[in-house]
Structure 1
Amino acid sequence: MILITGATGNVGREAITQLLDERLSVMAVSREPSTSALPGGAEVVRADPSRPRTLEAALDGVEAILLSPRAAGGAVAELLALAGRQGVKRVVLLSAVTVQYPAGYQRFADEFRAVEQIVRDSGLDWTILRCADFASNTLAWAGQIRSTGTIRGAYPNAASSTIHERDIAAVAVRALTDPVHGGQAYALTGPQSLSQLDKVRAIGRAIGEDLSFVELPADQVRQGMLAAGLPEDVPDRLLGSLADYAFTPGPSTDTVQRLLGRPALTFASWAAEHAAAFLG
């Protein structure tokens, strides 16, 4: 049995699908199973990874865990200690590429680095996936694109090798099921460095529309995000990295291709798959 935290997130949901495709037993953790709409075939358990004791019974028979730090909050050490006592052998951690390739505010990379150290010290066989920004992050533009065809934001020339969530999940599945990946920290990116303008154009091609990007001052964008009710750390995470990537593009690695034996999926392919989200 493989247990997925962050099961309703983009990577967790895709990992569940891929594990089920391989006819493996999957347990998905959800705080609200009735509204989670998770892939059929997964066993769904009502629990909260940030309160590990709610998972105690569910961990019986689990061999490996896909660990989302966001889902576990500050309880990662407690969760992994409990998992070890329950006989779990392996943990795969979703981390950030900024641990290895600094960008943005240092405190965010330090948070991931601290969780990585907890995982290393857990006594479980571990694999760390340091992910570039997700292609699915651009869904934040969907409302603006549907209503006006124009994205208003900061740092249009900030470039990164955005990764498709299916590739992250595919590598996670390998690490969850094959001990050869134990003790490895992988930097995962997409195949091509693209600016925000490039990504907007790719979405435009996918939906057959001519989209535009209007540059705004970073402070104005930040205030708009806060006014929309987003927590303060969200604009700090986004704008901090973009400010650095506007001067030095984010890293590009061939790790996905090496591990999966095929090229990493492009942002254009992601945009084509998700075109409906951007259409009015």
Structure 2
Amino acid sequence: MIVVTGATGNIGRSLVGRLLEQGVPVRALTRDPARAELPARTEVVRADLVEDPDLAPLLADAEALFLNLAAGGASAQRLIDAAQRAGVRRIVLNSSLSITDSPVDDTNFISRSHAEAERAVRASGLEWTFLRGGNYATNALRWAPAIRATGVVRDAHPGAQSAPVHEADLADAAAVALLDRSGAHAHQIHRLTGPEVLTNTQQVAAIAEVTGRPARIEQISEDEAAEAMAGPHFPIEAARQLVHLFGQSIDAPAFPVTDDVARVTGHPARTFAQWAGDHAGDFAGHR
């Protein structure tokens, strides 16, 4: 049995499918099972990682746990403690390439929660694998409403560079680590990126190519971009920090391209063009 947190998210949904294809029982944790829309063979369990008083029953009989902070980062320590009590053997943590393994991690909004979770997993004494992903290709979905409505994406840094990684590659890597029987992935850090560096302008052009809809970037100020990004769960200061970080990647990408996707999964990393094709409906207004 493998327990998957964030099971209805971009990575988790793909991961559940991969595991079921391998004939592995999956327990998917979600706040709203009625809306999960996961395969019938999935054991879908209601879970509130913040409010539930005891998380150990959620992990009963589980061999491994996929821990995604997007499912409730503030509860990571509680879930790790529950995994220990339930006898879970392995944790695969969906982490971040923003981690530098230096004191800077505790001052950076983006890396802080992931660094804390990595330290907690290491301290648990359980077997672990960290999947440090770079820029997720799904971040481009933030442009979808503008592309559908006007074809104009407003962005502070059209020249910002990254190597977007497809959520399917992250799910593939997670499945390999969760199902590892050789120990090859025990206590390993995998740094996962896409296969090529692209600017934001080039990403928008790739989306336009697959949708057949004209799309371009219009540059705005960092303050405007931060205000548009901020929300109830993402404070303005964190948004400003993230926008500034994007600006620093104009001269060079924040994270170099790695071959870890191919090394871990056995297949080449999917390109951004492939990702755009997979999500064309999100940008064209139909699915």
Give 1:48 deviation, angstroms: 1.7
Please list, as runs of the form range in 1=range in 2, the aligned pairs for 1:107-118 lying within 5 A after superposition: 107-118=109-120
After superposition, the Cα gap between the structure-2 partners of 1:142 and 1:96, relative to the gap in structure 1 and judged at 3 Å, is same
Q: Which moved more, 1:252-261 or 1:32-41?
A: 32-41
Residue 44 of structure 1 deviates from its aligned partner by 0.4
In the other structure, the counterpart of 1:264 is 269
**Letter aligned with residue 168 of structure 1:** L
Residue 274 of structure 1 is matched in structure 2 by: 279
Distance in 2 (alpha carbons) for counterparts of 1:2 and 1:137: 27
Distance 1:145 1:244 in 2: 25
TM-score calculated relative to the size of structure 1: 0.93
1:106 to 99, 105, 108: 108
2:160 — aligned with what? 158
User: Which region of structure 1 is more displaced relative to structure 2, 146-155 or 71-80?
Assistant: 71-80
CA shift, 1:107, in A, is 3.4
Query: 134, 138, 141: which one pairs with 2:136?
Result: 134
* Aligned-partner Cα distance in 1 for 2:153–2:40: 36
Specify the code of the residue in structure 2 equivalent to 1:123: G
Matched residue SS, 2:169: helix
Preserved contact between residue 127 and residue 175 of structure 1 (Cα < 8 Å): yes
Letter in 1 for 2:17: T
Name the residue aligned to 2:41. 41
Aligned to 1:170: 172
Question: Post-superposition shift, 1:133?
Answer: 1.4
Distance 1:259 1:73 in 2: 26
| Partner residue in 1 for 2:188 | 184
**2: CA distance between counterparts of 1:14 and 1:87?**
26
Q: Is there any run of 5+ residues in structure 1 with no aligned partner, and where?
A: none
Q: Structure 2: how far apart are the matches of 1:96 and 1:145?
A: 28
Residues in 2 aligned to 1:223 and 1:171: alpha-carbon distance in whole angstroms: 34
Name the CA distance, whole Å, in 2 between partners of 1:139 and 1:107. Answer: 22
Letter in 1 for 2:4: I
Q: TM-score, normalised by structure 2?
A: 0.91
Aligned residue runs from structure 1 range 77-96, under 5 A:
77-96=77-96
> For residues 111 and 237 of structure 1, what CA distance do their matches in structure 2 show?
15
Partner SS for 2:190: strand
Residue 145 (structure 1) aligns with: 147
Further displaced range: 109-118 or 212-221 = 109-118
Kindly tell me: are residues 173 and 97 of structure 1, through their superposed partners in 2, closer, same or farther at Cα, counting changes over 3 Å?
same
For residues 192 and 111 of structure 2, the distance between their equivalents in structure 1, rounded to whole angstroms, comes to 16
| Alignment-derived partner of residue 27 in structure 2 | 27
The Cα of 1:101 is off from its aligned counterpart by 9.1
Q: Aligned residue pairs: how many?
A: 279
Give the Å deviation of 1:9: 1.0
Question: Is the Cα contact below 8 Å between 1:131 and 1:168 reproduced in 2?
Answer: yes
C-alpha contact (below 8 Å) 1:62/1:88 kept by paired residues: yes
- The alpha-carbon deviation at position 6 of structure 1 amounts to 0.8
Secondary structure at the aligned position of 1:82 is classed as helix
Q: Distance in 1 between matches of 2:69 and 2:52?
A: 13
User: Retained in 2: the 8 A contact 1:50–1:71?
Assistant: no
SS of residue paired to 2:94: strand
Letter in 2 for 1:159: Q
Q: Do 1:188 and 1:253's aligned partners in 2 also have CA atoms closer than 8 Å?
A: yes
Compute the displacement of 1:259 (Å).
Answer: 1.3
1:232 aligns with 2:231: no
Contact 2:135/2:164 (8 A) holds in 1? yes
* RMSD over aligned Cα atoms: 2.1
Identity %: 37
